[in-house]
């Protein structure tokens, strides 16, 4: 199963692709899309959409996982991220790919065992789980890989529950 994880944003969109075979995870690729910061939002969103379409067509994922926006105090920021998230959902839908969205707390919990894990702890767990020498850079790509790992973990858990094998 090939999973594309996406960490949406209007300034930087991280993406990471993993291959999951049973309990073994393999890094396929990762990077980020950086639209021109001075461009108006519609042009940035078009840039993100085009870039994600290219990523989907290049890596041919089976499923897509996207981090959902976190709305704490900065509602304007959360709304902007929501626009980038919608573009990611559209790119996946236009390629008939199943998409699952995960909250930041769920991703932290699935990857590091705690919904309160720090960004550094998540990035170190990504490095360990993918058997990498270094933490993937840029940070947005490492975050996207965490989203993909979270999706794999959630799927594995759901499969265990559906089979009734809780031993």
The residues carrying an active-site annotation are 7, 67, 140
72 labelled as ligand-binding? no
Longest C-alpha distance within the chain, in Å? 55
150, 65 Cβ separation under 8 angstroms: yes
67 labelled as ligand-binding? yes
Q: What are phi and psi of 125, to 5 degrees?
A: -65, -35
Reading the block at residue 165, the tokens are 């094998």
CA dihedral 116, 17, 14, 40 (to 10 degrees): -140
- Sheet order of strands, 24-33 included: 24-33, 13-21, 2-7, 63-67, 99-102
Beta-bridge mates of residue 6: 15, 66
Going by the annotation, the residues of the binding site for Mg(2+) are: 7, 67, 140
């Amino acid at each position: 199963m090939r999973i594309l994880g996406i960490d949406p944003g209007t300034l930087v969109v991280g993406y990471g692709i993993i291959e999951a075979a049973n309990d073994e995870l393999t890094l396929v690729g990762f990077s980020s899309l950086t639209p021109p910061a001075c461009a108006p939002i519609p042009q940035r969103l078009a840039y993100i959409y085009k870039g994600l379409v290219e990523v989907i067509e290049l890596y041919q994922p089976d499923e897509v996982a996207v981090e959902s926006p976190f709305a704490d105090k900065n509602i304007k920021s959360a709304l902007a991220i929501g626009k980038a998230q919608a573009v990611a959902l559209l790119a996946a839908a236009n390629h008939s790919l199943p998409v699952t969205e995960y909250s930041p707390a769920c991703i932290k919990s699935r990857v590091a065992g705690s919904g309160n894990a720090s960004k550094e702890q998540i990035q170190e767990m990504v490095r360990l789980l993918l058997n990498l020498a270094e933490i993937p850079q840029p940070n947005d790509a490492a975050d996207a890989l965490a989203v993909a790992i979270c999706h794999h973990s959630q799927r594995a858990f759901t499969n265990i529950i559906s089979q009734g094998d809780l031993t």
